[in-house]
């Protein structure tokens, strides 16, 4: 695949839109675009474009050609990232990266920024790091670009807390997940590179950009955002930092509960109402909402987190939460806390959830194998539905 050209256009609502035309090896072309306010113009370097192309190229096994100069440090990092991905996911492959390198300078004397969604991880990072004076919030990451009204309501809330803490909120948007780029696995591979891409677009404005960690160090595994991969989106003039890996999600939640500053604004849901994609609400019916509500209940703070409907939190619904392999550590931490807090009702509910999930995961594995067989795929679908019946699994 090749970045053929870029041009600057007027974006929605007075923003600037940087558009890149990408040609794939089959000859088809698409436009990728990125928006930001005129106060924070996006770099014209080729570095963020290379970052953006990496996940899809690795997934569909195409080489990359970039028509713009790429920072020499990031070019070396990109090649290291390809090798790291190959060690994690043998199906990834990029034969070559063809780009002219350039040396850049000017890292010192610039402020620090952090990505900020209003969730547990990002609130923890910005409150732990008051030196992060700028918070980055982009549409088109978890929240679809078709949800602009919800995005504006979400940003209005975040702007309120940012103003309270004397921080600057910077908004942006991208259509990347509306293009062929979405073929790259989001959780396993591409969401970290999308954060890295956005960070590199701001490399002229910030010396450091913080990416809040997804998992604690004891539960690390190959994932889209990881302390080994995120730092490889650094350039000569900007350092990307994977922040908070030494803390568990529960420890982060406990920290937020000590101050109450974040609780009224806490927004963790990426499913949205009707499971139509992230909006400005917490659905209170998905795995992530229920895990967070459980932690807040155990710390006695659920009522203060006003974006959650505490009436929807019940012991029986907690027992029906499906735990995928990546969810198990979070639920076990909650179970330990429930025992410490004397909430045997919730500890037993979590035990039921883990037991039911264990049986369901076995059935799902069988269903997935059947799904790959020509005459049995319909039976596989029915088995998966049966395995998840009555469970909170989305």
Query: Is 222 a domain residue?
Result: yes
Residues 278 and 198 in one domain: no
Range of the domain at 86: 1-248
Task: Say what the pLDDT of residue 13 is.
Answer: 78
- Cα–Cα distance for residue pair 122/158, rounded to 1 Å: 12
For tokens 């602009």, what's the residue? 148
Residues 306 and 197 in one domain: no
Query: Is 257 a domain residue?
Result: no
- Cα–Cα distance for residue pair 138/199, rounded to 1 Å: 11
Task: Say what the pLDDT of residue 253 is.
Answer: 98
Residues 9 and 95 in one domain: yes
- Cα–Cα distance for residue pair 145/176, rounded to 1 Å: 10
Task: Say what the pLDDT of residue 159 is.
Answer: 97
Query: Is 259 a domain residue?
Result: no
Residues 227 and 290 in one domain: no
Task: Say what the pLDDT of residue 56 is.
Answer: 99
Considering the entire predicted model, what is its pTM?
Answer: 0.95
Residue ranges in the chain whose pLDDT is less than 50: none
Residues 142 and 288 in one domain: no
Task: Say what the pLDDT of residue 377 is.
Answer: 73
For tokens 């039976």, what's the residue? 379
Residues 242 and 276 in one domain: no
Task: Say what the pLDDT of residue 30 is.
Answer: 98
Structure tokens at 378: 């319909």
The end-to-end CA distance of the chain, in Å, is 34
Task: Say what the pLDDT of residue 346 is.
Answer: 98
Task: Say what the pLDDT of residue 194 is.
Answer: 98
Residues 81 and 222 in one domain: yes
Query: Is 260 a domain residue?
Result: no
Task: Say what the pLDDT of residue 31 is.
Answer: 98
Phi-psi map region of 212: left, alpha, beta (phi>0 left; psi -120 to 50 alpha): beta
Query: Is 26 a domain residue?
Result: yes
Overall number of domains in the chain? 2
Residues 124 and 158 in one domain: yes
Residues 196 and 88 in one domain: yes
- Cα–Cα distance for residue pair 386/370, rounded to 1 Å: 14
């Amino acid at each position: 695949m090749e970045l053929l050209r870029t041009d600057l256009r007027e974006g929605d609502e007075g923003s600037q839109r940087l558009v890149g035309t990408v040609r794939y090896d089959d000859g088809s072309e698409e436009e990728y675009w990125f928006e930001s306010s005129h106060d924070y113009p996006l770099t014209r370097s080729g570095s963020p474009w290379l970052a953006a192309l990496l996940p899809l190229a690795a997934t569909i096994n195409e080489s990359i050609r970039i028509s713009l100069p790429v920072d020499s440090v990031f070019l070396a990092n990109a090649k290291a990232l390809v090798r790291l991905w190959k060690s994690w996911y043998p199906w990834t492959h990029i034969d070559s990266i063809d780009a002219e390198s350039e040396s850049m300078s000017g890292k010192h004397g610039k402020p620090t920024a952090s990505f900020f969604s209003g969730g547990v991880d990002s609130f923890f990072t910005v409150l732990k790091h008051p030196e992060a004076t700028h918070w980055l919030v982009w549409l088109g990451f978890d929240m679809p670009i078709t949800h602009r009204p919800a995005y504006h309501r979400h940003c209005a809330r975040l702007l309120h807390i940012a103003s309270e803490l004397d921080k600057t909120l910077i908004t942006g948007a991208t259509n990347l997940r509306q293009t062929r780029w979405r073929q790259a696995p989001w959780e396993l591979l591409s969401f970290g590179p999308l954060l890295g891409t956005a960070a590199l677009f701001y490399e002229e404005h910030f010396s450091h950009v913080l990416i809040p960690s997804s998992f604690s160090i004891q539960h690390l595994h190959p994932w889209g955002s990881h302390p080994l991969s995120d730092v490889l989106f650094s350039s000569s003039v900007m350092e990307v930092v994977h922040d908070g890996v030494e803390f568990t999600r529960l420890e982060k939640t406990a920290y937020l509960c000590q101050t109450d500053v974040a609780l009224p604004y806490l927004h963790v849901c990426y499913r949205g109402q009707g499971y139509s994609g992230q909006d400005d609400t917490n659905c209170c019916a998905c795995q992530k909402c229920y895990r967070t509500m459980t932690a807040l209940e155990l710390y006695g703070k659920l009522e203060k987190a006003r974006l959650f409907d505490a009436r929807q939190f019940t012991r029986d619904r907690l027992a029906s939460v499906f735990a995928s392999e990546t969810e198990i550590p979070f639920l076990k931490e909650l179970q330990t806390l429930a025992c410490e807090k004397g909430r045997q009702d919730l500890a037993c509910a979590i035990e039921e959830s883990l037991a039911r999930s264990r049986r369901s995961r076995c059935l799902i594995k069988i269903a997935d194998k059947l799904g790959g067989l020509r005459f049995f795929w319909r039976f596989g679908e029915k088995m998966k539905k049966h395995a998840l019946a009555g469970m909170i699994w989305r």
